[in-house]
Amino acid sequence: MRTISTISLLICCLANVSCGGGGGSGSSPKPPSSAAVSSSVATTSSQSSSPASSSAATSSAAISQALIKINQIGFKPNSQKWAVIPAVAATTFRVINKSDNSTALTGNLSAAATWVPAQESVKLADFSAITTAGSYELQVDGVEKAAEFTVSDNAYEALNAGAVKAFYFNRASTELLEAHAGVYKRAAGHMDDKVYIHASAKSALRPERSVIAAPKGWYDAGDYNLYIVNSGISTYTLLAAYESFGDYFKHQHLNIPESDDDVPDLLNEIRWNLEWMLAMQDPNDGGVYHKLTSKNFSGFVMPASDVSDRYVVQKTTAAALNFAATLAAASRVYAEYETQFPGFSATLLTAAKTAYDWAKANPRIYYTQPADISTGTYGDGDVSDEFMWAAAELYITTKIDSYYTDVNLANLTPDVPWWGGVKTLGLFSLARHSAELTAVAETAIIKTKLDNLATTIVNKGSSSAYGVAINTGDFNWGSNSGILNHAWVLLEAYQRDKSKTAYLNAAQSLLDYVVGRNPTDYSFVTGFGKKTPQNIHHRPSGADGIPGAIPGFLAGGANAGQEDKSSCSKPYPSTLAAKSYLDEECSYASNEIAINWNAPLVYVSAALQVLTE
Ligand code: 9MR
């Protein structure tokens, strides 16, 4: 899109420097373990600050070297602001304004409580009363290091732009020019203009080893393959962000090749992937191939050096339905841009409908990994949720009531979405569009179902010593995305009822977790925060010869499964769930990146930027 507003932040991102503030913090509905958290804002700016490190009154033996856990990006003036403090003896904290060393706030800490996923005893500091833009330091006697944080009106704009730009960095079939990619420029690879039909995907009109073209799209993750199931949820998540915060995205400039057109850059970026998705449909029957892949994962080489043959593999029901849902949603979004992309919206809708019809005629074709293929599977033996999602999106876009009937709302028990569980995505869309639906839509029930899920999440956080709505069971492969998907639920529900500030605050806490308020001390977004992943399991980041990681990518995060531990020469630092994170390239189970992990980061960072007023 044609504006030049955020170039400076992109320079910062392209240079792979820390784009966030110092340390930040968190927020949440209520301090979980104590009613004792209270604070008072200083009335004058002349009070002197205490030393940033140890208080003179505290003996060195009692000083904790553990860090204060805090959002490292910063806060908006009206964000709730929380930090997790090691359980030292102190019962109070203070906030120093760095501009003049004055004490801006003093407050009480909550009582110590143990956070089970990390077996840490901690206290919480609530410094939400700091509502003036600036740079601050949070100090607690007995904690060696103070924590820095910033407050600003545009707290999450750079993070959000970086998270979207990561999709550009993961584009297949194209050269990345220095003008857009800076030091991360690279030669084109995976043109995918000659892709073989794998034996598992053969049909009369497309026999085994016949050739199709299916270029573009985003690499799924740290590998160079593309999978429809995961592409679908990722693309929908970005579309949902656009549907929710279109005015915000209309003003975002990402410096991507299409930035000079008059289409929002987010939609330019999404279109790159939609074009690939369209090519993954067999025009002869409407079925959709599950993935486009090499037979095995490539080595850690740049795209241009991976010249292995590429295949489309097996048509599946899950792929057809993910495709149908995503393209139906995209059709209504791109209808706004008919002048720029003539016929695109209609093409998307036709493709969505034929894929859905194929799925209804082939309702139980599950992915089976062929013996000669070893890349990711995204296998799913239950596609009832995919049917609900696709039906919901087709209904919203076409207003044809029979699609609504297919949703079967009575059977939809919402849960936090992930690539294998997508029914709640349909609920999100129905709730977002409830004002435009036909008479058959049970809008009150839709809203209640969403509300109930959001309430469950808030309650989950209310007893957490870290003040976050996650527990030991949430630390699985890609946990950071699950954590942000919890926030996404809360933020969809909040937009439907803005009196529910507990939803917004619980979502803030979840973002805080991902960008620093967690036991690892990492902000899990490359290049954004004080301590960020350097060695992500991402082929271009590993092979480009440039130290550190390409910016804007969310690492998978702590994963109690530690499925990769035998592949890594370095051990995980702990067996505890929330500490099972290893910033090593070998750690595909905790330190890979993926498009479906970045997508909720885009949604949540935009939401907190826009909705925190
Ligand atoms: O995100 C996927 C995770 O839920 C699974 O547990 C894991 C193992 O099957 O696979 C993850 O997806 C990977 C995909 O199969 C291939 N590209 C990289 C993805 C992220 O690790």
C-beta separation of 172 from 303 below 8 A: yes
Q: Which amino acid is at 483?
A: I
Give the tens place of pLDDT for each residue, 451-468. Answer: 999 999 999 999 999 999
Mean pLDDT across 280-302: 98
Cβ(564) to ligand 1 under 6 A?
no
Mean pLDDT across 392-414: 98
Instruction: Find the radius of gyration of the CA atoms of the chain.
Output: 24
Q: What is the pLDDT of residue 507?
A: 99
C-beta separation of 281 from 180 below 8 A: no
Cβ(492) to ligand 1 under 6 A?
no
Among 54-58, 213-217, 430-434, the least confident range: 54-58
Give the tens place of pLDDT for each residue, 49-80. Answer: 333 333 333 444 479 999 999 999 999 999 99
Residue located nearest, by CA, to atom 13 of ligand 1: 376
Q: Which residue has the higher pLDDT, 389 or 49?
A: 389
C-beta separation of 467 from 28 below 8 A: yes
Which residue among 170, 294, 378, 480 has the greatest number of ligand 1 atoms within 8 angstroms of its CB, and so is best to mutate?
378
Mean pLDDT across 168-195: 98
Residue that is written with structure tokens 């500490």 in the block:
579
Cβ(220) to ligand 1 under 6 A?
yes
Mean pLDDT across 183-212: 98
Between the CA of 168 and the centroid of ligand 1 the distance, in Å, is 20
Is 598's pLDDT higher than 80? yes
Give the tens place of pLDDT for each residue, 348-377. Answer: 999 999 999 999 999 999 999 999 999 999
The pLDDT-based confidence of 13 (bands split at 50, 70, 90) is very low
Residue located nearest, by CA, to atom 3 of ligand 1: 477
Cβ(386) to ligand 1 under 6 A?
no
C-beta separation of 602 from 240 below 8 A: no
Contacts 24+ apart (CB under 8 A), 61-67: 62/88, 62/89, 62/142, 63/142, 63/143, 63/144, 64/88, 64/142, 64/143, 64/144, 65/144, 65/145, 66/143, 67/145, 67/147, 67/521
Residue located nearest, by CA, to atom 15 of ligand 1: 376
Give the tens place of pLDDT for each residue, 262-280. Answer: 999 999 999 999 999 999 9
CA pair distance 30, 156, nearest whole angstrom = 23
Q: Which ligand 1 atom minimizes the distance to the CA of 588?
A: 21
Is 25's pLDDT higher than 50? no
Which residue among 223, 226, 538, 564 has the greatest number of ligand 1 atoms within 8 angstroms of its CB, and so is best to mutate?
223
- Tokens representing residue 50 in the block: 């205490």
Cβ(592) to ligand 1 under 6 A?
yes
Mean pLDDT across 96-123: 98
Please report the domains of the chain, with CATH numbers, ordered by start residue: 170-441 (1.50.10.10)
Q: What is the pLDDT of residue 43?
A: 37
Q: Which ligand 1 atom minimizes the distance to the CA of 377?
A: 15
Q: What is the pLDDT of residue 41?
A: 54
Between the CA of 376 and the centroid of ligand 1 the distance, in Å, is 6
Cβ(321) to ligand 1 under 6 A?
no
Q: What is the pLDDT of residue 32?
A: 39
Please, what is the average pLDDT of the chain?
Answer: 92
Q: Which helix (H) or strand (E) holds 479?
A: helix 479-496
Mean pLDDT across 191-198: 99
Catalytic residues: 583, 592
3-state SS, residue 224: coil
Is 156's pLDDT higher than 50? yes
Q: Which ligand 1 atom minimizes the distance to the CA of 223?
A: 17
3-state SS, residue 400: coil
Residue located nearest, by CA, to atom 7 of ligand 1: 477
CA pair distance 550, 593, nearest whole angstrom = 11
Between the CA of 194 and the centroid of ligand 1 the distance, in Å, is 26
Q: Which ligand 1 atom minimizes the distance to the CA of 476?
A: 6
- Tokens representing residue 569 in the block: 């020469």
Q: What is the pLDDT of residue 1?
A: 56
Is 36's pLDDT higher than 70? no
Q: What is the pLDDT of residue 62?
A: 76
Give the tens place of pLDDT for each residue, 476-531. Answer: 999 999 999 999 999 999 999 999 999 999 999 999 999 999 999 999 999 999 99
Between the CA of 559 and the centroid of ligand 1 the distance, in Å, is 12
Mean pLDDT across 209-226: 99
Q: Which ligand 1 atom minimizes the distance to the CA of 220?
A: 17
Between the CA of 318 and the centroid of ligand 1 the distance, in Å, is 16
CA 371 to chain centroid: 33
Residue located nearest, by CA, to atom 12 of ligand 1: 376
Between the CA of 419 and the centroid of ligand 1 the distance, in Å, is 10
Q: Which ligand 1 atom minimizes the distance to the CA of 589?
A: 21
**HSE-CB for 541 with a 13 A CA cutoff:** 30
